[in-house]
């Protein structure tokens, strides 16, 4: 019952218009929380919305819970799971970023399928024949031969804590004045974010997302003119595939590629010959939990390095499939992506890139998403023609607790993200 004398807890806070309280998509603004590291916290927020507002505060994860989660995700594999590969001779074997963890295998027992360009690691157990032959299929398996203590520890940590409301509708105050949208410069790739990157970057008003860092006014009817004469690459996980599918349907493009009934991440191309528009979708390299052949999971750095002609537009989303790995796995990968993007922008001036951030989810995945958001923001900060798009504020206001938010949430995410591509 004693007060804490240290910080480290993870809170989420927002201001909601009084008349929208209890609704799934309220107007309002997310808040910035400062941890003073002594058991106290302060909350700040811009006040762009006049009228009666309700302050809501949620303890998402305690410092103690975060410490357990950091410990449980400190290995170069997702504990309690594995990947099962099938060689061309139909022999199956375990695969992963690191199979020497816990002393399960020695390096001499492994085949090295790491990316030859930048050594993004991937290994599989050698078949009984002793030779390393090509793989033809890979499947994610929610079981493993790790020691039980490690598997059980992560599952226990994930089950411990849920969001706990700290402040609710009784915290009400009024902001005077009338609503006026501030005029700013257009959103551009490499827009400079001043100060703390976690400060609120926008708010919802009249059901639309309004940026606080640049002028975002793109709506669905403006997408076609934005991409006319452009080639756009959508690279990464299923959340960026959502972006690809949305614009393909919105613009009624012709789409070609292998059947995706069994393997959703198959490569796709969509085009509009009349308006000279071409969209490509490519997944990212392993670990990628969806089943499929090696050709369905190319490394993003390889795709970037093989682009011939430009300038091009690029949309990237990557991190969900490494949430439960030790962060060095992810850092290695995005440093390689950053280097490839730097070379591409130098080769084809005018190329524009957006790197999509993560969505608010339920604990503990939410804290893991925030961890990787902060890593991406730091890695891509000040990289020419590259903009990291933090979506945390959007899904703090409209939290669907879904890896794949749909409907108006997806549209607002896409319109905000594309504003950085579609400016003059």
Phi and psi based region of residue 37 (left: phi greater than 0; alpha: psi -120 to 50; beta: remaining): left
Strands 110-112 and 82-87: unpaired
Q: Are residues 228 and 272 in the same domain?
A: yes
φ, ψ of residue 302 to 5 degrees: the values are: -65, -45
Q: What is the pLDDT of residue 104?
A: 83
- The C-alpha atoms of residue 361 and residue 401 are separated, in whole angstroms, by 4
What is the CATH classification number for the domain harbouring 15?
A: 2.60.40
Q: Are residues 63 and 106 in the same domain?
A: no
- The C-alpha atoms of residue 111 and residue 132 are separated, in whole angstroms, by 6
Beta strands in 283-410 (DSSP E): 313-317, 352-356, 386-389
Q: What is the pLDDT of residue 194?
A: 58
- The C-alpha atoms of residue 102 and residue 97 are separated, in whole angstroms, by 13
- The C-alpha atoms of residue 62 and residue 52 are separated, in whole angstroms, by 30
Q: Which residues pair with 352 in a beta bridge?
A: 313
Q: Are residues 169 and 255 in the same domain?
A: no
Residue 183 forms part of a structural domain? no
Q: What is the pLDDT of residue 364?
A: 72
Per the prediction, the chain carries an average pLDDT of 90
In the chain the first and final C-alpha atoms are separated, in Å, by 57
Which two three-digit tokens encode residue 22? Answer: 């209890």
Q: What is the pLDDT of residue 305?
A: 97
Q: What is the pLDDT of residue 389?
A: 94
Predicted confidence (pLDDT) per residue in 285-341, tens digit = 999 999 999 999 999 999 999 999 999 999 999 999 999 899 999 999 999 999 999
Query: Cα angle vertex 329, ends 123, 263, to 5°?
Result: 60
What is the CATH classification number for the domain harbouring 269?
A: 3.40.50.1110
Site of tokens 């493009």: 253
User: Domain residues for 50?
Assistant: 10-69+163-175
Q: Does 42 score more than 70 pLDDT?
A: yes
Q: Find the helix packing angle between 365-380 and 63-72, rounded to 10°.
A: 80
Which two three-digit tokens encode residue 112? Answer: 């090295």
Q: What is the pTM of this model?
A: 0.94
- More confident call, 58 vs 315: 315
- The C-alpha atoms of residue 120 and residue 99 are separated, in whole angstroms, by 14
Which two three-digit tokens encode residue 259? Answer: 């059947």
Q: Is 130 exposed, middle or buried (0-12, 13-18, 19+ CB in 10 A)?
A: exposed
Q: Are residues 64 and 85 in the same domain?
A: no
Q: Does 96 score more than 90 pLDDT?
A: yes
Residue 150 forms part of a structural domain? no
User: Sorting pLDDT into bands at 50, 70 and 90, what band is 143?
Assistant: confident
Q: Does 168 score more than 60 pLDDT?
A: no
Q: Are residues 217 and 335 in the same domain?
A: yes
* Residue 99 CA to its chain's centroid (Å): 26
Q: Count of domains in the chain?
A: 3
Overall average pLDDT of the 9-16 stretch: 94
């Amino acid at each position: 019952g004693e007060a804490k004398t240290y910080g480290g807890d993870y809170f989420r806070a927002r201001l909601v218009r009084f008349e929208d309280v209890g609704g799934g998509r309220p107007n309002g603004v997310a808040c910035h929380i400062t941890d003073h590291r002594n058991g106290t916290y302060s909350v700040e927020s811009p006040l762009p919305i006049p009228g009666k507002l309700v302050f809501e505060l949620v303890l998402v994860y305690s410092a103690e819970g975060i410490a357990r989660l950091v410990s449980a995700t400190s290995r170069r594999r997702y504990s309690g799971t594995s990947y099962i590969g099938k060689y061309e001779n139909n022999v199956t074997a375990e695969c992963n970023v690191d199979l020497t963890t816990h002393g399960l295998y020695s390096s001499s027992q492994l085949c090295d399928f790491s990316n030859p360009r930048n050594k993004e690691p991937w290994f599989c157990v050698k078949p009984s024949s002793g030779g390393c032959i090509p793989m033809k299929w890979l499947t994610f398996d929610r079981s493993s031969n790790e020691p039980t203590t490690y598997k059980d520890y992560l599952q226990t940590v994930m089950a411990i804590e849920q969001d706990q409301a700290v402040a609710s509708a009784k915290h009400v105050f009024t902001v005077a004045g009338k609503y006026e949208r501030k005029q700013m410069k257009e959103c551009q790739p490499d827009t400079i974010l001043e100060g703390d990157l976690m400060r609120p970057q926008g708010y919802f008003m009249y059901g639309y997302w309004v940026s606080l860092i640049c002028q975002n006014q793109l709506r669905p009817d403006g997408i076609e003119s934005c991409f006319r004469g452009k080639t756009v690459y959508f690279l990464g996980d299923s959340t960026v595939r959502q972006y690809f599918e949305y614009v393909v349907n919105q613009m009624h493009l012709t789409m070609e590629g292998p059947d995706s009934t069994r393997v959703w991440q198959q490569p796709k191309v969509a085009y509009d010959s009349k308006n000279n528009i071409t969209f490509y979708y490519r997944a990212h390299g392993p670990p990628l939990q969806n089943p499929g052949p090696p050709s369905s999971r190319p490394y993003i750095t390889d795709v970037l390095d093989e682009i011939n002609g430009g300038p091009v537009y690029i949309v990237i989303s990557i991190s969900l499939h490494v949430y439960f790995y030790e962060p060095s796995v992810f850092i290695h990968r995005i440093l390689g992506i950053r280097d490839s993007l730097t070379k591409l922008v130098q080769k084809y001036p005018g190329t524009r890139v957006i790197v999509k951030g993560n969505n608010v989810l339920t604990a503990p995945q939410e804290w893991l998403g925030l961890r990787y958001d902060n890593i991406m923001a730091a890695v891509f900060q000040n990289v020419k023609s590259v903009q990291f798009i933090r979506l945390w504020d959007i899904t703090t206001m409209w939290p669907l607790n879904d890896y794949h938010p749909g409907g108006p949430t997806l549209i607002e995410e896409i319109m905000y993200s594309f504003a950085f591509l579609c400016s003059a």
